[in-house]
């Protein structure tokens, strides 16, 4: 018996099942999005719990993906090192000699600095970090800049806590899940950090540009308080960030404003130290006027 010349479209059951599955996924996504909007409007507390669960789930996926990418990069580096072992050995020997010399010089400077501080009666009180946690990923959306930290409420992390690395300030905790937290990076458009310039003590405010850089604005109107290469550190004004945390280096000056590059790059940092929210000493806090 001859096959019919004209088969109706959609004859293949595989195609029909694929179309049906696509419709089901689209409808389910629409229903879930509508439910989230209603939950955010009528029950913000439950919506915050759902967001925390999403942070924890996303942190797990991000961590797995980062491990895979890092493993591939390490394998590639090992292959390159195998074929370039002789040149690498010579380079490492030279670098070791240079670093040994720098370590000796740094040790001498530390001893001299300690001696001078003792003579001047200077005592430093550095806050202790709450904990150190792995940075398992970062995200970019418009002008928003976030990183994901592998520690959450169960570890004592709370919104507002500063996060830094040995290089400098990374940002502050924005929101937390049970096992992970989102960190608002220094370069985010909504980030603002009071700072001072180490060279002259000029107070300023660092704000994120949302493009990977930051801008420093002097708090005193007029003049040109900034120079290229100036180091900005936290001033401690207003609390949250303890004083003297390195933040950024000025790269270009525009009158009483300047562009700067953050010292800490989350893309190259594996761990971040979380600190308690800094409270300035009682004598430094503004007093309430008497009635």
Please check whether residue 74 lies inside any domain of the structure. no
Q: How far, in Å, CA of 47 to CA of 28, rounded? A: 19
Check residue 27 and give its pLDDT: 79
Domain count within the chain: 2
- Is the domain of 186 the same as that of 109? no
Q: Judge whether residue 191 has pLDDT over 60.
A: yes
pTM of the model: 0.60
Which of 201-208's residues contact partners 24+ apart within 8 Å by CB, and which partners? 202/226, 203/235, 203/237, 204/232, 206/232, 206/247, 206/248, 206/260, 208/143, 208/145
Contacts of 192 (CB under 8 A, 6+ apart): 205, 206, 207, 208
Give the residue, 248 or 63, on which the prediction is more confident.
248
Check residue 118 and give its pLDDT: 57
pLDDT digits (tens, 9 = 90+) for 213-261: 899 998 886 678 899 999 999 999 988 999 989 999 999 998 888 999 9
The length of the chain is 291
- Is the domain of 99 the same as that of 153? no
Please check whether residue 46 lies inside any domain of the structure. no
Residue 278 is classified by DSSP as: B
Check residue 250 and give its pLDDT: 93
Q: How confident is the model at residue 206 (pLDDT cuts 50, 70, 90)?
A: very high
Contacts of 180 (CB under 8 A, 6+ apart): 55, 56, 58, 59, 136, 148, 149, 150, 151, 152
- Is the domain of 190 the same as that of 114? no
- Is the domain of 197 the same as that of 240? yes
pLDDT digits (tens, 9 = 90+) for 122-141: 444 556 888 999 998 877 66
Domain with 105, as residue range(s), is: 84-120
Domain stop point among 120, 145, 170: 120
Please check whether residue 288 lies inside any domain of the structure. no
Q: Beta strand pairing status for 231-234 and 246-254?
A: antiparallel
- Is the domain of 233 the same as that of 104? no
- Is the domain of 144 the same as that of 113? no
Q: How confident is the model at residue 205 (pLDDT cuts 50, 70, 90)?
A: very high
Please check whether residue 48 lies inside any domain of the structure. no
Please check whether residue 16 lies inside any domain of the structure. no
- Is the domain of 108 the same as that of 162? no
Q: Judge whether residue 184 has pLDDT over 50.
A: yes
Residues 181/186/187/191 CA torsion (nearest 10 deg): 90
């Amino acid at each position: 018996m001859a096959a019919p010349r004209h088969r109706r479209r959609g004859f293949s059951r595989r195609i029909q099942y694929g179309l049906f599955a696509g419709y089901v996924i689209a409808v389910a996504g629409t229903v879930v999005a509508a439910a989230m909007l209603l939950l955010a409007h009528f029950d913000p507390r439950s919506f915050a719990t759902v967001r925390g669960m999403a942070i924890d789930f996303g942190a797990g996926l991000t961590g797995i993906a980062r491990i895979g990418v890092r493993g591939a990069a390490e394998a590639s580096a090992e292959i390159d090192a195998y074929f370039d072992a002789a040149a690498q050995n010579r380079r490492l020997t030279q670098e070791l000699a240079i670093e040994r010399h720098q370590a000796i010089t740094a040790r001498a400077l530390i001893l001299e600095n300690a001696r001078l501080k003792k003579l001047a009666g200077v005592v430093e009180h550095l806050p202790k970090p709450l904990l150190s946690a792995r940075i398992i990923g970062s995200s970019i959306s418009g002008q928003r800049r976030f990183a994901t930290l592998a520690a959450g409420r169960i570890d004592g992390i709370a919104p507002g806590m500063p996060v830094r690395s040995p290089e400098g300030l990374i940002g502050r905790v924005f929101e937390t899940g049970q096992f992970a937290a989102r960190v608002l990076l220094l370069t985010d458009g909504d980030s603002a950090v009071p700072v001072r310039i180490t060279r002259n003590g000029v107070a300023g405010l660092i704000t994120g540009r949302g493009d990977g850089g930051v801008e420093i604005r002097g708090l005193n109107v007029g003049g040109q308080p900034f120079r290229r290469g100036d180091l900005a550190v936290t001033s401690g004004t207003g609390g949250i960030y303890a004083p003297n945390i390195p933040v950024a280096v000025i790269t270009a000056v525009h009158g009483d404003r300047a562009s700067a590059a953050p010292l800490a790059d989350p893309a190259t940092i594996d761990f971040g130290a979380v600190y308690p929210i800094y409270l300035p000493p009682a004598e430094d806090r503004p007093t309430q006027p008497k009635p």
